[in-house]
Amino acid sequence: MAPAATAVGATLDDVAPPVRRGWGVALFAALAALYFGVGTLLVLRYNLFDPDAPSRVANAGYVVFSRQPHLSAIGFVWNPLPSMVEIPVLQFSRWWPELKTHGLAAVVQSSLFMAGAALMVRRIALDRGVGAGWRWVAVGCFALQPMIVVYGASGMSEAAETFFLVWTIRHLAQWIRSDRVGDLAWAGIALGLGYLARYEVVPAAVGVALLVAAVAFRRARAAERLDSTILCVLIVSFPLACAFTIWAVTGWVVSGELFATLSSQYGNGSQVAGAAERGGPLAGAASDDWVVIGARLLGMQPFVVIAAACALALAVVRRNAVVLVPLATLGPVLAFAAWSQYSSTTFGWFRFYLLAIPLVVCVALLCWSPDATGDGARRLGAGLLTASLLVGAPVTVYAMSDQRIGNQQLQFGLASLVDPHGRPAGEQWYRRLMVNDRSLADYFDRRNLPDGSVLMDTFNTWGIWLSSDRPRQFVITSDYDFTAVMNRPYDFGVRYVVASNPAISDADALNVRYPSLWNDGAGLGTLVHSVFGATGDERFRVYRITGRPVPPAS
């Protein structure tokens, strides 16, 4: 008769040999190289990227390469961690300029975080005693899933969010199993760091706190239940509370705004409201149709609802909350994404449902029990992994290629690489992103201008700054003297002003200060250059400063 440790119905779940740390290092290195290679190919060969990624590189670049380098130049609208990781990477741009000019520093960041997330999936499998065969299937289901590959290569913050939340799942599951307070503390640290990557970690922290409270209350003796529950919730919540408070207070001290992403003219709320007023593709992304929302969630991972139902059923049957950990951690983030899209609070991007992928994989792995009980549950976990690999991945590929579901160029744009004739060249506007920004940067670079010669608000012109070989020639929004220079550019040696089209975005300080700047130069100078964007719209006008504006006649 086989030992209990091998009594598993799934044929791949053999007894695993002692695991060497070298396998984990090799896995991390291989996946990081894969994601970075894919991202570099997409950016340098096909000019295919999401502008959010290089814009975060620009935030990192302001810290070290602007006229007035300082840490607060990283900005307070978006979470700082991805850009902070990119700051040391940018030091190598003197040897490989594309790390800055094409935003490849972002690809380095996302590659490392997504490879780390895959490593955490492997660690969960090891913690649960999953055999070598199914362990590698689980890692493959996550690490090689098409959307995971794309967003490991994208340079965006989804990779960091995924890493920290899967890290949370691992330690929270360990705490429920062993009641080690160290695991609860590590789960809290992961949530705190995750908040510095994306604000959506807050709903995850709420779900985690509720689960921790329920488990602690059930475990403790009657006389200690209240104290034990409060203490456990404080341990897991304290790091995020610190990160939340420090980030908000620092933003208030530096910029005068506690929550810039909500209140700033550059924040997410302002962008969504502006897009709704102007209409077009951005407004359409925030669809309140539940059919569209469901298609995006199930297109990302068609077995997410089944996995959630199985987890709830197993928790009731086993009377063990460990299988609920992925639901408590990732479920609130997915629910928040669906609600935000329905209420038009944010753009309904397909990528916001990315966490459905690790949710299913982690539920499947937590069906395994280290004590070798519950063979039926193991078969259920093996079934979820098999279905995700054989059915889930093809469904995701189909969803990515459909613009109604995979509604960003990093998804549907990939279809044009596989079938270049499937979409007319004129419709492939996403392949021309930042091309004219780079040409305008070259326009200024060729003039060998002194520092502080070009005034612009980098909310819209970050691509120009990022592409330039002479970034100190620009007076930008994060400079200490930006407001003074904007009020009197002719007194500070400014030679050119870059105006952004207010019809495309009204969150531009220069347009607020000079309402007629776009139309006639507001009396500051004469029009010398105009730049059109990827979709054929005029984006920038360059005015050469000719002197003080003439006041209107009384």
pLDDT at residue 92 in the model: 96
Alpha-carbon span 462 to 470, nearest angstrom: 13
Return the CA Rg of the chain.
Answer: 25
What is the mean pLDDT of the segment spanning 245-265?
80
Which SS3 state, helix, strand or coil, does residue 225 take? helix
Quick one: pLDDT band at residue 23, thresholds 50, 70, 90?
Answer: confident
Output the CA torsion sign for 296, 363, 214, 231: negative
Output the CA torsion sign for 510, 512, 514, 517: positive
Per-residue pLDDT tens digits for 312-361? 999 998 888 999 999 999 999 999 999 988 887 777 889 999 999 999 99
Q: Between the CA of residue 448 and those of 27, 245, 479, 490, what are the distances in Å?
A: 47, 44, 21, 19
Other Cβ atoms less than 10 A from the Cβ of 428: the count is 17
Q: Which domains does the chain have, with CATH numbers?
A: 434-545 (3.40.190)
Per-residue pLDDT tens digits for 130-154? 999 999 999 999 999 999 999 999 9
DSSP state of 341: H
Quick one: pLDDT band at residue 12, thresholds 50, 70, 90?
Answer: low
CA neighbor of 65 nearest in space, from 42, 49, 83: 83
Other Cβ atoms less than 10 A from the Cβ of 507: the count is 18
Per-residue pLDDT tens digits for 442-486? 999 999 999 999 999 999 999 999 999 999 999 999 999 999 999
What is the mean pLDDT of the segment spanning 506-533?
90
Collect all residues with Cβ–Cβ distance below 8 Å to 233 and sequence separation of at least 6. 209, 212, 213, 216
Would the pLDDT of 404 be above 80? yes
